[in-house]
């Protein structure tokens, strides 16, 4: 459901409920001092609603809205009890903070109180789960915790009915929602009105229920089932263990020095170098706190880690580990960032590799191998979102590094097994990294060229024993438009023409014009080799590391790069790069190839895949490099399908671009670049492809204007054809050439290409003005608004596809409709003979491509025309 239904049911001049047209407050901007990644996890909220029938409103944030269910009896912690949950209209995110009275006579009239709120997670695509009818998720609130299920009921009903129930996890028990009302705002006494006996009865029933529930509450709280093991006694047996009181504060972590190769010898052990965020954690008086390596508190950002540590059952403890997503490889770092920022859902885990304190016993001075044995024992029984970092013996360092590299990990950490835990950087811990990526300080910017905004490239430096900092090269690729803008704003106007670091090469013209400044922040870049002076070859941005400080790089983490090691690295990396260039595009394995997708024609998933392979060169002209939305049908046409625009867990070939949405939230949008990416989406059951009218590298400028001619009831297709020709003629009078597309549905598209691209505001202004002028010229024939009651007998000129973030179906895309129709580009001369908007199916489209002499849209990308005259 969309927020249209929410708007329709409410009068915002009467009710205090938030209008979806009012944007929620923007999150507080991160300051440099916090040095932490942007964290905006998807929220959940449960509100106790004393309406005509008392119930709990259960809401989960999916995208930029709250999916909502009414649960009459509220959630139960007993896994055997399944509570009915009636799906209602989506609510805006701003509703999460709403409390108070909805006036009598208004929709949902009664008192609304906040029952619980927090973060929710699922390791799988939430939209796909909802489409299938089973959403499995975790809640991290004050009252609702642990894993839950929502399963759609098969019973026919006016509104979709689901069942909400608890997973049998560490939180399961006999507690009911009504047992947890202590502290929840109660409704004010209702005003007596003899004229409204029904309202009086409802109020009386609500009071009775509230009074009973309050008695039952008895200050009940939800706590996980904890381990009953005397870990203190086990910790006391470690060498050099001693009694101590743990402070309620962050501690400085032990750090590793960078080496060229893994050390050998029995005194060493080797662990995987996880690609994530280093976090230390403390438990004091049973309260968990989590900190970054720079002592910034993360407890509220990663509630699943706090819940995992609580299940250890300790009164006090201190641990060191890494926050990861997926397997913790380099490829999973983007998933970690996207999960933390709320751009997609993913499972997070805390991989522990050290323990320093256990229930009053300080074990820092015990040998590492003893500390790890204790930690392994503590984690022997699995705890969700927590894992133990295993190791291999010292003599197998080279093999460990080779295996870690093969499996795409960042490298390994080698540690002295016989040494205590010592804060800071020293020789007891050493890291050996793959040279595929490395971290550098940003020390300047070059000016952008052409249409490039923000800056051209970042100037990079590495720490150097002799010079302090030495220039390492420049990185100008891999940035999204949003990153260019945000980083330019972060850098500001600082800088001078004098280099702030040692530059080991002659300054070229670009470096002479650059702005230089002291090391400002850290970026991680992919490396494709080093020159003889240690200058990076063809680097590209991997990520901005605002969680790290430039001092972290200078803290003896690495030394100056010698010419010999640079040559070695160049040879090794160049070899890998050449191997990648020779490698064929990854083959996407198609699961369930015999699954029926179009039941009316018995078309299978394999046949859908074969179709898209056949049209791929033509479809990619329409969608490659553009933000993309798809319609996915996991169980085929006729069953639940859903619209998806954000990147999701499991997609490994399809990339994403980070774009800001209307609500001010950054989100990762799907982008397909090649056949492999297209086929990966087909494997994910994508049937329809809807691109933006802009490219991912320039999302704020449109290179298409699309008029969707959508016939209402009673309009013959012949009238749609006449209308398309009329629109073409009017556009020609304005000096604009257009192209024709059969949509695979009822209507036609008239498409106007723009080169150079125009700003979205201008494009939308032109499209709206054209559509409204058309409707005003013949109101009995045309309509420029989507009002359903006005649609019969008229053609809706839909100009709303011409806004930033709006999409239209691509040529050669299938439609998720009976008969397997396709959207097909046409020459204007073919319009007269066209029978329907869905005249071409999979077979006819492939035959058409094979038999035609010329692509009717061959000139669409080379035609130069724009809307500057209407600016």
Q: Do domains 231-433 and 437-563 have the same CATH topology?
A: no
Give me the pLDDT at residue 648, please: 77
Report pLDDT for 18.
Answer: 92
Element containing residue 397 per DSSP (H, E): helix 397-406
Spatial separation of the C-alpha atoms in residues 521 and 18, rounded to whole Å:
39
273 is catalytic: yes
Compute CA distances 814 → 31, 611, 655, whole Å: 47, 9, 22
Q: Could you give the CA distance from residue 145 to residue 140 in angstroms, rounded to a whole number?
A: 5
Helix (H, G, I), strand (E, B) or coil at 763: helix
Query: Nearest-CA neighbor of 699 among 447, 453, 392?
Result: 453
Query: Exposure pattern of 794-823 as b/e (b: 16+ CB <10 Å)?
Result: bbbbbbbbbbbbbbbbbbbbbbbbeebbbb
> How far apart (Å, rounded) are the C-alpha atoms in residues 813 and 823?
6
Distance (Å, whole) CA 447 – CA 514: 7
- Kindly give the parts of the chain with pLDDT less than 50: 1, 26-35, 190-202, 205, 208-219, 556, 559-585
What's the token pair of residue 472?
């390492």
- What one-character-per-residue DSSP string does 79-123 give? TT--EEEEEEEEE-GGGGG--EEEPTTSTT-EEEEEEEEEEEE-S
Give the C-alpha separation, 593 to 697, whole Å.
Answer: 35
Helix ranges (DSSP H) in 624-694? 675-683
Domain 596-870 superfamily per CATH: DNA primase, PRIM domain (3.90.920.10)
Predicted pLDDT at 198: 42
Task: Give the integer Cα–Cα distance in Å for 382 and 754.
Answer: 57
Q: How many other C-beta atoms lie within 10 A of the C-beta of residue 40?
A: 15
CB 279 within 8 A of CB 323: yes
Domain range summary for the chain, segments of one domain joined by +:
3-217, 231-433, 437-563, 596-870
**Which of these, 505, 522, 826, 813, lies nearest to 682 by C-alpha position?**
813
Q: Please tell me the distance from the alpha carbon of residue 865 to that of residue 553, in angstroms, as a whole number.
A: 50
3-state secondary structure 470-505: EEEEEECCCCCHHHHHHHHHHHCCCCECCCCCECCC
The pLDDT of residue 216 is 44
Distance CA 589, CA 581 (A): 21
- Residue 247 corresponds to which tokens in the numbers above? 């402070």
Supply the pLDDT for residue 402: 86
Domain 231-433, CATH homologous superfamily name and number? DNA ligase/mRNA capping enzyme (3.30.470.30)
Which fold does the domain 437-563 belong to in CATH? OB fold (Dihydrolipoamide Acetyltransferase, E2P) (2.40.50)
Of 562, 486, 492, 498, nearest in space to 520 by CA? 492
Selecting among 166, 234, 273, 433, the annotated active-site residue is: 273
Non-local (6+) Cβ contacts of 681 within 8 A are 630, 651, 654, 670, 672, 689
Among residues 119, 113, 136, 116, the alpha carbon closest in space to that of 177 is found at 116
- Residue 729 buriedness (CB in 10 A; 0-12 / 13-18 / 19+): exposed
The token pair that represents 243 in the structure block? 């009694």
Number of residues written out for the chain? 871
Q: Within 13 Å and on the Cβ side, how many CA atoms surround 60?
A: 22
For residue 311, what pLDDT is reported? 93
State the SS3 of 680-731.
Answer: HHHHCCEEEEEEECCECCECCEEEEEEEEEEECCCCCHHHHHHHHHHHHHHH
Give me 831's structure tokens.
């319009």
Q: pTM of the predicted model, to two decimals? A: 0.67
């Amino acid at each position: 459901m969309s927020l249209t239904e929410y708007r329709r049911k409410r009068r915002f001049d009467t009710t205090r409920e938030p209008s979806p047209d009012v944007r929620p407050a923007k999150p507080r901007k991160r300051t440099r001092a916090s040095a932490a990644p942007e964290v905006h996890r998807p929220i959940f909220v449960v509100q106790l609603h004393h309406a005509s029938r008392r119930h709990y409103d259960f809401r989960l944030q999916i995208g930029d809205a709250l999916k909502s269910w009414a649960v009459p009896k509220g959630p139960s912690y007993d896994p055997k009890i399944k509570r009915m949950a009636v799906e209602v209209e989506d609510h805006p995110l701003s509703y999460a903070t709403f409390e108070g009275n909805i006036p009598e006579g208004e929709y949902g009239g009664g008192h609304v109180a906040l029952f619980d709120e927090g973060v929710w997670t699922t390791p799988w695509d939430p939209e796909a789960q909802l489409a299938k009818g089973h959403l499995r998720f975790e809640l991290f609130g004050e009252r609702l915790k642990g894993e839950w299920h929502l399963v759609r009921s098969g019973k026919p009903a006016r509104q979709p009915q689901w069942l909400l129930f608890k997973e049998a996890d560490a939180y399961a028990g006999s507690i009911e929602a009504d047992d947890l009302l202590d502290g929840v705002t109660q409704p004010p006494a209702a005003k007596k009105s003899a004229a409204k006996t029904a309202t009086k009865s409802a109020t009386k029933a609500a009071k009775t229920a509230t009074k009973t529930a309050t008695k039952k509450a008895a200050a009940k709280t939800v706590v996980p089932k904890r381990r009953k093991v005397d870990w203190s006694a086990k910790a006391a047996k470690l060498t050099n263990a001693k009694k101590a009181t743990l402070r309620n504060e962050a501690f400085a972590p032990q750090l590793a020095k960078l080496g060229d190769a893994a050390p050998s010898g029995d005194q060493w052990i080797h662990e995987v170098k996880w690609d994530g965020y280093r976090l230390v954690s403390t438990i004091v008086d049973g309260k968990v706190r989590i900190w970054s390596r720079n002592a910034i508190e993360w407890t509220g950002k990663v509630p699943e880690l706090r819940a995992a540590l609580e299940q250890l059952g300790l009164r006090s403890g201190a641990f060191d580990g890494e926050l990861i997503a997926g397997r913790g490889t380099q490829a999973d770092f983007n998933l970690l960032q996207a999960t933390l920022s709320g751009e997609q859902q993913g499972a997070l885990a805390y991989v522990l590799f050290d323990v320093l304190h256990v229930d009053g016993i300080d074990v820092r001075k015990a040998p590492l191998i003893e500390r790890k044995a204790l930690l392994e024992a503590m984690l022997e029984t699995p705890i969700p979102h927590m894992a133990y970092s295993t190791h291999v013996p010292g003599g197998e360092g080279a093999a460990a590094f080779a295996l870690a590299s093969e499996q795409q990990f960042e490298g390994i950490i080698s540690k002295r097994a016989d040494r205590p835990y010592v804060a800071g950087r020293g020789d007891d811990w050493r890291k050996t990294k793959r040279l595929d990526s490395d971290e550098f300080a940003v020390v300047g910017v070059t000016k952008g060229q052409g249409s490039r905004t923000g800056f051209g490239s970042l100037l990079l430096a590495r720490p150097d024993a002799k010079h302090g900092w030495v220039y390492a090269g420049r990185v100008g690729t891999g940035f999204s438009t949003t990153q260019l803008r945000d980083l330019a704003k972060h850098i500001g106007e600082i800088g001078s023409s004098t280099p702030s670091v040692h530059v080991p090469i002659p300054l070229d013209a670009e470096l002479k014009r650059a702005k230089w400044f002291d090391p400002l922040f850290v970026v991680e870049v992919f490396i494709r080799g080093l020159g003889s002076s240690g200058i990076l070859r063809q680097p590209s941005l991997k990520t901005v590391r605002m969680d790290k400080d430039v001092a972290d790089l200078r803290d003896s983490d690495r030394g100056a790069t010698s010419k010999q090691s640079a040559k070695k690295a160049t040879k090794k990396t160049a070899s890998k790069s050449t191997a990648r260039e020779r490698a064929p595009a990854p083959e996407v394995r198609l699961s369930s190839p015999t699954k029926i997708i179009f039941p009316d024609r018995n078309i299978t998933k394999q046949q859908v895949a074969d179709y898209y392979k056949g049209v791929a060169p033509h479809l990619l002209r329409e969608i490659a490099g553009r933000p993309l939305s798809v319609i996915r049908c996991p169980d085929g046409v006729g069953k639940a399908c859903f619209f998806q625009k954000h990147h999701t867990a499991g997609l490994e070939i399809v990339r994403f671009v980070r774009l800001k949405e209307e609500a001010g939230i950054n989100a990762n949008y799907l982008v397909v670049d090649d056949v492999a990416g297209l086929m990966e989406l087909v494997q994910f059951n994508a049937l329809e492809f809807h691109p933006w009218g802009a490219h991912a590298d320039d999302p704020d400028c449109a290179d298409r204007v699309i008029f969707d001619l959508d016939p209402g009831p009673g309009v013959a297709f012949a009238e749609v054809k006449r209308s398309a020709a009329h629109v073409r003629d009017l556009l020609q009078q304005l000096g604009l050439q257009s192209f024709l597309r059969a949509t695979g549905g009822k209507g036609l598209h008239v498409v106007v290409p723009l080169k150079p691209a125009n700003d979205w505001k201008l494009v939308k202004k032109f499209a709206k003005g054209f559509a409204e002028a058309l409707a005003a010229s013949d109101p009995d024939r045309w309509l420029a608004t989507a009002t359903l009651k006005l649609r019969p007998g008229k053609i809706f000129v839909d100009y709303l596809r011409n806004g930033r973030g709006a999409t239209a179906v691509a040529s050669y895309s299938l439609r998720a409709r009976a008969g397997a129709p396709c959207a097909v580009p046409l020459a204007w001369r073919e319009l007269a003979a066209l029978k329907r908007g869905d005249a071409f199916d999979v077979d006819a489209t492939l035959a058409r491509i094979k038999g035609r002499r010329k692509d009717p849209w061959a000139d669409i990308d080379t035609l130069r025309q724009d809307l500057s005259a209407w600016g």
